[in-house]
């Protein structure tokens, strides 16, 4: 789009940014022609989506299967109390359309997986990762490397946050910054460690700014470095990151599926010193929702405040701490797979599968036949039958 193709409505709406020295109508035209994909409509996604809609990104895709809960509202400012119990992507789309009705918004109420990532990323110009788990972060990173798409990455925990731009076409990636995928549960998430809302705004706004820089060519994007922010002393530190010599480029997601399955039992079971593999009488350690039989006892181990927005149909609620303190409360807890059938036994789920995997590993170590449901409640919401929630 040339400068002359900006219509009067564009010039009026974006007048203040068009006037910026070095920005002008050409940069605005670049934004209007761009397609950005944002992973997550939560703490980081809220400011990212709001600002990208306001600045005039032509097409914005959003991926998030989750629903709005009361505990989200202190930091996920794109949602309102009226949205509780509804899809985050629907709430986000309503807010973004209210900010800028000329933006095309595409929503995907599904989990990002190794099976759909390349298709979802295929026609986008940039990906912004506002996810809250390492499985998704490495998957997004690798899919972007395969497709040659820049990735704006951010993370928050407690009072601190990090921002970077990964671009395998000529710079470092997440695997250069963090070569080893952290073990599930080794780094607490916001539900465990907590987070202040304004920090989400600080990091999310920085991510939105990096997105604009990459798409328009203004300034110097945060490539080959990571910016670390400490909110308590208002400090920002830019730390250089160098490519790992000899690192093999990612060319096939299937070769790295284990890195994207941290929500499943696999990694947690490794902590049982290999004994788990021999306990076939306990049935499979992990199952997908589609593999559960109608007779299975499904247990939601999320905390009380997490279930306010909904549970899987037919599930019973037993918070993880209470379950581990008294496993005897678990229905058919000591039934073996041979007695009850693997898929007809007891299956645990949490929000994303990480806590249920660890709980299942601990219980199976005591000889209790339970399985963890891969992907947790988010995977449940991603099923076609549940996407109308």
Q: What is the pLDDT along the chain (389 residues), one digit of tens a residue?
A: 344 579 999 999 999 999 999 999 999 999 999 999 999 999 999 999 999 999 999 999 999 999 999 999 999 999 999 999 999 999 999 999 999 999 999 999 999 999 999 999 999 999 999 998 899 999 999 999 999 999 999 999 889 999 999 999 999 999 999 998 876 666 656 655 678 899 999 999 999 999 999 999 999 999 999 999 999 999 999 999 999 999 999 999 999 998 987 554 444 443 444 444 444 578 889 899 999 988 899 999 999 988 887 899 999 999 999 999 999 988 764 444 444 444 458 999 999 888 898 899 999 999 999 999 999 999 999 988 886 65
CA distance linking residue 215 with residue 205, whole number of Å:
15
Q: Which CATH architecture has domain 263-386?
A: 3-Layer(aba) Sandwich (3.40)
User: Is 144 among the catalytic positions?
Assistant: no
CATH 3.40.50.720 in the chain, residue ranges: 34-254
How many CB atoms sit inside 10 A of residue 162's CB? 18
**How buried is 317 (Cβ within 10 angstroms: 0-12 exposed, 13-18 middle, 19+ buried)?**
middle
Radius of gyration of the chain (CA): 22
Sequential DSSP letters for 228-268? EEETTTTEEEEEE--PPTTPPPP--GGGGGGGG-TTSHHHH
The CATH code of domain 34-254 reads: 3.40.50.720
User: Is 350 among the catalytic positions?
Assistant: yes
CA distance linking residue 100 with residue 270, whole number of Å:
48
Instruction: Return the closest-CA partner of residue 241 out of 349, 167, 305, 310.
Output: 167
Catalytic residue (choose from 57, 350, 359, 371): 350
CATH 3.40.250.10 in the chain, residue ranges: 263-386
CA distance linking residue 26 with residue 368, whole number of Å:
64
**DSSP 8-state assignment for residue 335:** -
Catalytic residue (choose from 190, 191, 196, 324): 190
Cβ contact 251:235 at 8 Å: no
Determine which helix (DSSP H) or strand (DSSP E) holds 128, and give its type and residue range.
strand 126-129
CA distance linking residue 164 with residue 307, whole number of Å:
34
């Amino acid at each position: 789009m040339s400068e002359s193709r900006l219509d009067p409505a564009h010039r009026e709406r974006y007048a203040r940014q068009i006037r910026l020295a070095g920005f002008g109508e050409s940069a605005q035209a670049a934004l209007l022609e761009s397609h950005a994909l944002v992973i997550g409509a939560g703490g980081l996604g809220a400011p990212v989506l709001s600002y990208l809609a306001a600045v005039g990104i032509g097409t914005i895709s959003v991926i998030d299967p989750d629903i709005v809960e009361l505990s989200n509202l202190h930091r996920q400012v794109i949602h309102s109390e009226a949205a509780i119990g509804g899809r985050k992507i629907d709430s986000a789309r309503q807010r973004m359309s209210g900010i800028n009705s000329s933006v095309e918004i595409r929503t995907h109420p599904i989990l990002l997986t190794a099976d759909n990532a390349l298709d979802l990323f295929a026609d986008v110009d940039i990906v912004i990762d506002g996810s809250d788990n390492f499985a998704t972060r490495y998957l997004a990173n690798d899919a972007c490397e395969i497709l040659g798409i820049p990735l704006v990455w951010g993370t928050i925990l407690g009072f601190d946050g990090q921002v970077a731009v990964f671009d395998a076409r000529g710079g470092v990636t997440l695997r250069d910054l963090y070569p080893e995928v952290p073990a599930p549960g080794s780094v607490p998430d916001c539900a465990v460690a907590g987070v202040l809302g304004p920090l989400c705004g600080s990091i999310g706004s920085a991510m939105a700014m990096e997105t604009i820089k990459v798409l328009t060519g203004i300034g110097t994007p945060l490539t080959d470095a990571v910016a670390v922010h400490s909110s308590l002393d208002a400090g920002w530190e830019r730390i250089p990151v160098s490519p790992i010599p000899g690192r093999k480029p990612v060319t096939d997601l299937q070769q790295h599926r284990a890195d994207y399955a941290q929500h499943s039992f696999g990694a947690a079971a490794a902590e049982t010193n290999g004994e788990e593999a021999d306990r076939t009488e306990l049935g499979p350690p992990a199952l997908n929702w589609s593999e559960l039989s109608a007779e299975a006892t499904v247990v939601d181990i999320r905390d009380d405040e997490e279930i306010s927005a909904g549970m899987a149909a037919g599930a019973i609620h037993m918070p993880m701490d209470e379950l581990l303190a008294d496993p005897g409360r678990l229905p058919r807890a000591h039934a073996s797979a041979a007695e009850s059938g693997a898929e007809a036994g007891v299956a645990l789920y949490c929000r994303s599968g990480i806590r249920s995997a660890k709980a299942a590993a601990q219980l199976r170590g005591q000889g209790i036949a339970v399985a963890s449901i891969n992907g947790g409640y988010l995977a449940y919401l991603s099923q076609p039958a549940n996407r109308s929630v």
